[in-house]
Structures are given as C-alpha cells and as structure tokens.
Chain A
C-alpha cells in the first residue's frame, strides 16, 4: 500500500502522462542497448594452438611497440570456424584418418563407413580416362596442328562453356529417366556440390531467414548453408513409421511454428534420393510439396546428387519433371546436381545449379566467379558426358554393383538381427542399431557411436549428426567396400553386440 500510493501519486500527478510515456521509452532504450551489446562481436577465441610464440622485440626497430600491441582479431563470423568441428560426422571422419583400415597392411584399422563415395566402377572410369583423357584435353591448334593451350588456359564464361552445359543437360535428362529435359541456359556449373548449395542459398534467402529441411538430413548442409549465408535450417522431423518420408502436414506444422517464433521461411530444401535414409520420393509426394510451396509462396530446392545411384525398384522422378507437368509456378523450383556420387569424381569438383527462375540463374552466373569449374576439367567432362555409349555402360554397371553390394551388406546386418530402413538410392543404408543401445536416448546413441569407433573400429554416422529424432539410427556407406570387407564388418559388430549384452 505504501508503495502503491506514492506511485499512484506520481502517475496521477501533473507529470503523470509525461512520466507514463517516459518510463516505457527508457525501458525500450535500455533494452535496445542491452541487445546491441549482446550482439556485438564476442571476444576473440583462445588460440587452440597452445604453442604461442614468445614475444621478442623485433630486430627492425620500426615495429617495436613493446608488449602493448593487441593481437589482431578475425571477424566474429570466422571465429566459430576456428574451433574444431564438434559434429560426430566430422569427428568420425577425422578418427579414420588416424588409423585407416587396409585389407593388406592394416587389418585392425578403422573401417570407413562415413563417407558417401563409390569406388565400385573405377575400373571403367580408369579405362575411359587412359583412352580418352589426352584427346579431350589437348585440343589441336588450327594453325600448326600442335597442342593449343589457349583452349584450356584462357578466361571462359564463369558459368561454364555452353558445350559443358549442353553435355550436363543431356546427361542429367538421361539418368533421370529420360522424361525430363533440361535447358542449358538455365544451368550454371560450379566447382562442386558444396558451392552449388551455398550459392543457391545466397540467391534465395537473406541472413536470418530459414529453410525447412526434412530430417534426418545430410550433416554437410549445416556447413554449406549456415556458415556464411546466416540462413537457418529448421528440421522437419520424419519418422520410421513413414520410412522417414516427409509429409505436407509436418511441413505445415514446422512452418507455422517458425512463423510464431518470428522466423521468415524462404524455402524447403530436401535431397532426393534422400541422404541419409536413401529413399526415393514419389511423384505424389513431390507434387504435394510443390503445391504446398506454391500455397505458401516459398522456394523448393531439390538436391538430386544421387539421382544416378538408384538401385531399387522405385523409379526416380526429378522435381523438374513434376514442375513441368502440373500448372505450377516453376520459378520457385531449383535443382542441385553434381558428379561426385554418380560418377565417383568428387576430386574433380563438379556441381550444377539448375533453376527455372531467370533472375536466380543470372545472379548465380555472376557468383560463379568465386567457384567456377576450371576449363580443362570442363573439356574432360564434355568428352566424358557426351560419350553416350560409355555412360550407358557405366550407369548400368554402377547401379548393378551398388545393388549387389547393398544386398550383401543389408543381409549381413539382418543375420545379426539388425534391420535397415527401406532404401532405393544413394551409396549407403540407414541402419537401426537401437537394439545395441544401452539407453534409448541421444546419449546412448553417442555412446554407441564412440564404441563403434574405438572398439569395433567402424566409423558410421550417428543419427544425431543428421538431426534424426529417433535414437539408434546410423548411416553406413558401403560403396567403397570390397566384398571381403563385409564379413569383417559384421564380425566386429557381432563382437560388439555380444560384449554389450554380456
């Protein structure tokens, strides 16, 4: 009472209106100041390299300032990159490097199941390269018949030569079922799938905006999308009951929740064939996603980098095909592709951005100066991708060999009582190791991950790294394994399982 009466007096007094508006203004001011201070760059991270050189005064007297020079700082957006990555995805990859398995020289090493790469058809590629590489690269000079280096040395359009875009358009159409055609002028060639995703993100959303992304999702997207663009990724959780297929109702729910939080959702990003699960989205699902996107007026990005690695019975349908069929506003549809998975050439750095939106294509073209494909590699690919006979032979063998390896791997796991999700594409399978968990939780899963790495000496990517909401799932890539390796892996898992139950 004693408190309220004076307050009332203040408020009801002559200056009440003035004070009544001043106090909220002051509050706003201090709130703003507080928030601004919170947002100012954090202090520089402590050097994780602990061997700091002793400060000696320099010989050159020009720069002697004693010990009063501050250590020069990097930007606040660079600071998180300086720290070692903490995702199990990267931790696992690093651990394998310390003790990599070798069939001959290091049978006790860590077997790599965490990298989605295929070596199954290298023999075919190697043969093609040794027969054709030189001709594709060393273009004859018209003048003297000798080698004309200017054909590979000089500046060319950063989005890729027309011939390479034509070659890619043709190749993509072929491997995606042949019912979809790609226009080379809507295509931009990049130095890898990683810059392709980043450049597209830069074009479609601002700093602070968000993409919806069905989870579990490829851990690399965190880096590709979030690092420099500042775009948020909002996982849309999928469940084993649907075989981890995204539904429109889940998308709707996530979108509404995002809006309530004040996030602006600019688009949906998904991979098809999906990574890490390996399922193929049906035509109906793609149609439904597109309709949803149209209704909410947002973009759709389909990462189809595994489109040629389909081994199951379900046919692969590109988002481009579905977009062309219905009466959709195609300008919101964008596709990512690359040859790292289907053609086993991650080292070459080959990526494709395909967009129906001409302003996106135009902006992406200009951004290619930061990540364009070198001309010699373009020449090789023109030759390789236009060799239709070889490509047919290669893709058939690629699919067959993945199918065979997949069967062996999944069977081996089945024998141990470990099931896998149904998958029809990709270079991996999505394995349910929940029976091996000590506790059905994220903690339990990470413990199992560590045991797999240190005891069973196997690097498999845990679902936590992929933002999977159900614990116990692991992605195992099997396309770099020889048939002989599979029993070794199964034996190790068996031992681990037995030791954990005992």
Chain B
C-alpha cells in the first residue's frame, strides 16, 4: 500500500488551521494586489490616533527643497545683500533671472498707450472679452506674437505656426505637461548632465516619470556623445525601464553654452532609431550672445518632410529668461505632433496664462521694431556681463567653460577641492557661502559627474554688485595662495 501523503494532509492543514489558511491567502492576495497596483482592502483599525492621511505626492521629497543647496537660499533670505543698506550681505548668484534690460521694458510700457496694451487694440470695451476669456486655445493675437518672436530670435531660420503653440503658465508647467503626455509612470526621460536641478522636481514629482542621466564631461566641453546616449539608453533597458524620450536644454543650463548642430542631428537620428521623443527646452534661446552661434532643433526639422520624424520633436519656450518677465508666468509648448498639440491644449486647463497677461504682451511682442531692438541690446549686454565675470575670474586664477549664452557661467574650482568628491565639493560650497557670502550652485546639485564645477549667475544684479562679488572672490583666492 502506498503511503498517502497528500490530500488528507493538505486537508488537515487547512481544516485544522483555517486561520493559517486565511492568513496565507490574505497576505498572498495583498502582495499580489500591491504588485499590480490594485487598491487594497480597507484595513481595519489602522487609524493611528485618527490622524488623517495625505497622499504620496504630498509627503514625498521629490520637490527637492530639503536638499542642502537650499541652505544657500535660506542664508540669502536671512541676510540679503543690498547695495546701500547691507553691503556685506549674501549676494544671490544662484538665481537665473535677467534684470539687465528692464529699462527697455519700462520705456516701452510707459511710452505706448497703456490703455491699449491693457485691453488690446479695442481699448476699454475689450475688458469684457478679457475678463471672460478662458479658452485653452489662447488668444490668437498672442500666439501669433509668440510665434513671430520665436522666429525673430532664430533669425528667421525656422518658421513657427501659431496654431502649434500651446500656452502654459511658465516653462516649468510646460515641461511637466509634456512629461505627462509623453511618458507613463515609471517610464524614463534621458537628460544630459549637468542639468537644471529643477528637472528632478518638474519632470518627476507628480508625473511619476524617471530621469536617466546621459553623462557628459569636460573632456569635450560637456557635449553629448553618441556613446553616452547609447549607454544611458542601455542603462535604462537593463533596469527594465522604458525610455520615452530625450530632453535637452539648448542653450544649456547650467553650462551656458549652445548645443552644436552636429550633436542635434545625432540626437534626432538616435530618437528616430529608438522611436522616442525629443524635447528641446530653448528657454535661453534669446540670450545667446551671438545669434549665429545658436542652432535650434526647429531649424533642423524645418527641412524635413517626413512626418514620422518631425512629430517626435517638441520645443519648450518661455518669456521668463529672454524677456526678464518670470513674474508673468508665460510658457509655451511648440510641437510638430498634432496629437500632442491637441492633448497639451486640453491639459493646459490646469495652467492657463491669464487673459490679462496675454493682452498686455500681445501688442508688445508683435511690435517687431521693439522686439528686434530688445533682442539685439539684451544679447549685447549679456555678452558684456559674461566677459566681465569671466575676465574677473581669470584674473583670480579661475577658469570657466567657454560659454556663449545664458545668464550664468560654469566655473571650474576643481583645483580647490581637498578631495574630488561630492563631499569635497559641498565643503567648498559651504565655505564660499559662509566666508565669501556668495550663493552659487554646486555642480552636484546639477548631477554633474565631475566634481568642482559651480554655476554662477550674473544677470540678476547691478554691475556694481557683480564687481563686489568678483572682489570677494579675488580676496579669497589671494588668501588661499597665502598672501
């Protein structure tokens, strides 16, 4: 007779311990449900003292504001430099804001009939439409003005169709919106390092999308190489993460340099091969010192007829940097993909540009005489500022990456680090903050793989303040050299 071992035993286990059975199946189900993301059954009495729960988004620290770099902002808030009242305070060199051309804006706004710019060309009766207008298509005249402005910045080398412009309340919102549209939770965007620290928050926080870095280094001025691209893609693949696109900033933040045309072509080629999107954040396109040195991805796409190539390209723009109007909250997504335009438009309900703002700026942006003059003078002033700071740093023995755009320079203090590590970099950053009272951005906050680089903003202060900052750096370097 064979030994029975089986159903009776199984049965006995199950009958003798129904609790065990129920517990096992409950936990198995729970684990499965959790893995599949299905809602769990309401737990009984898991109320810890009746404290009401918040969402994962609310409690997550993806907003990044708990990172050590915010100590710099705090130090500035507590002791801000002020030319006359507090000349020994902290100078804010961590905020990429453009204040060099305010006078041009002021004279324009004061000169033109203000009533007209408030309500549009109709004058006061325009108020009614202004107050009621909340169409996510945006004011046609404003979109036309944006299109013509973007065209002007690129010297007419690319044309922009106003119907492909989707308005958002700032570029921050534009980048997040595009991420929602192009990628699902746990998908990834490839972003070249070093990159704007805000991307960690803007691209990931609410969207649940990941960033996989494309590592760049100083050996080739931090340009993206095909090898680095392939490597990043492979890294994602190995981790079972689906890559949905590449997101670049051109001109680059924090490098302050334009992306070379060849690199852009290689990027587009790569995106076509992998069948993914290409997002180009061109928020600093109007802040290139010499117009000829900037190639927009729009120029490259201009000569392509193949829709399946074009429709993966999307451009983000804003008036916060080039026009110095971050307070107005005006951003835009320009997409060559009809589906994306349609979807982005509908989703922009969550981040509309105020009708008031659209009216105020439509006439200003379509005034080609003003915009041509503004762009030209703004570029010139930024170039001069850049030269001032780079020269000043050179005299102090500090080299910067050769830049040609933006509101900042990328400074190399690697030679000052005790150890070429993140810790070493943060220690130096802390010294610069506490001793020199300068708030600059360390490369590690931008995910730079080389330590010792710092981003230094120069356009959000007067020339005098910039001089004082340079003096402090000189003194510091002198002390270091033991004078």
Contacts and interface: CB of A to CB of B under 8 A. Distances in A.
Contacts of A55: 306-308
Contacts of A17: 5-6, 9-10
A264 B6 contact: no
B329 A138 contact: no
Given A72-B312, A347-B354, A262 B272 contact: no
Interface in B314-344: 324-330, 337-340, 342-343
B134 A14 contact: no
A223 B58 contact: no
A62 B265 contact: yes
Contact of B304 (A13, A60, A78): A60
B305 interface: yes
A363 interface: yes
Given A11-B6, A370-B351, A374-B356, A153 B131 contact: no
A376 B327 contact: yes
A375 interface: yes
A359 B351 contact: no
27 contacts: A12-B7, A14-B3, A14-B5, A14-B6, A59-B305, A69-B308, A71-B311, A72-B312, A75-B181, A78-B180, A81-B343, A122-B127, A147-B106, A155-B327, A191-B329, A192-B352, A194-B350, A195-B350, A205-B55, A262-B39, A344-B131, A347-B355, A357-B54, A366-B65, A366-B201, A367-B206, A369-B202
A198 B425 CA distance: 39
B35 to A, nearest CB: 8
Contact of B360 (A62, A297, A376): A376
Contact of B38 (A63, A125, A262): A262
A499 interface: no
Interface stretch (B40-48, B153-161, B286-294, B433-441): B40-48
Contacts of B354: 191, 347-349, 373-374, 377
B59 A154 contact: no
Given A39-B36, A147-B110, A372 B52 contact: no
Given A192-B352, A202-B206, A374-B356, A298 B52 contact: yes
Interface string B1-38: 01111111110000000000000000010001001111
A32 B325 CA distance: 52
A369 B354 CA distance: 15
A207 B185 CA distance: 11
B57 interface: yes
Contacts of B304: 58-60, 63
A17 B10 CA distance: 7
Interface in A55-73: 55-60, 62-65, 69-72
A-B pairs with the 5 shortest C-beta distances?
A: A16-B6, A347-B355, A375-B327, A363-B58, A347-B133
Contact of B180 (A14, A125, A228): A228
Contacts of A348: 131, 354-356
Nearest to B340: A74
A332 B51 CA distance: 9
A146 B105 CA distance: 12
Contact of B54 (A153, A228, A359): A359
Interface in B89-120: 95, 97, 99, 102, 105-106, 109-110, 114-115, 118
Contacts of B38: 208, 262
A439 interface: no
Contacts of B472: none
B7 A156 contact: no
Contacts of B180: 75, 77-78, 228
> Which of B170, B187, B306: most chain A Cβ within 10 A?
B306
B132 interface: yes
A14 B389 CA distance: 84
A122 B131 contact: yes
Contact of B329 (A224, A345, A372): A372
A347 B356 contact: yes
A394 B55 CA distance: 40
Given A12-B7, A82-B339, A360-B54, A53 B110 contact: no
Contacts of B360: 376
B63 interface: yes
A208 to B, nearest CB: 5
Interface string A73-102: 011111001100000000000000000000
B164 interface: no
Interface in A1-56: 8, 11-17, 20, 28, 32, 35-36, 39, 41, 47, 49, 52-53, 55-56
A294 B131 CA distance: 40
B426 interface: no
A354 to B, nearest CB: 16
Interface string B199-210: 001100110000
A374 B105 contact: no
Nearest to A228: B180
A299 interface: yes
Contact of A150 (B102, B129, B130, B170): B102
A141 to B, nearest CB: 8
Nearest to A18: B6
Given A81-B343, A122-B128, A347-B355, 9 more contacts: A32-B32, A36-B36, A126-B127, A146-B110, A150-B102, A208-B38, A266-B55, A371-B169, A375-B327
A375 B5 contact: no
A463 B192 CA distance: 51
A27 B4 CA distance: 25
A209 B53 CA distance: 12
A402 to B, nearest CB: 17
Interface in B430-457: none
Interface string B156-197: 000000000000011011001000111111010000000000
A153 B95 contact: no
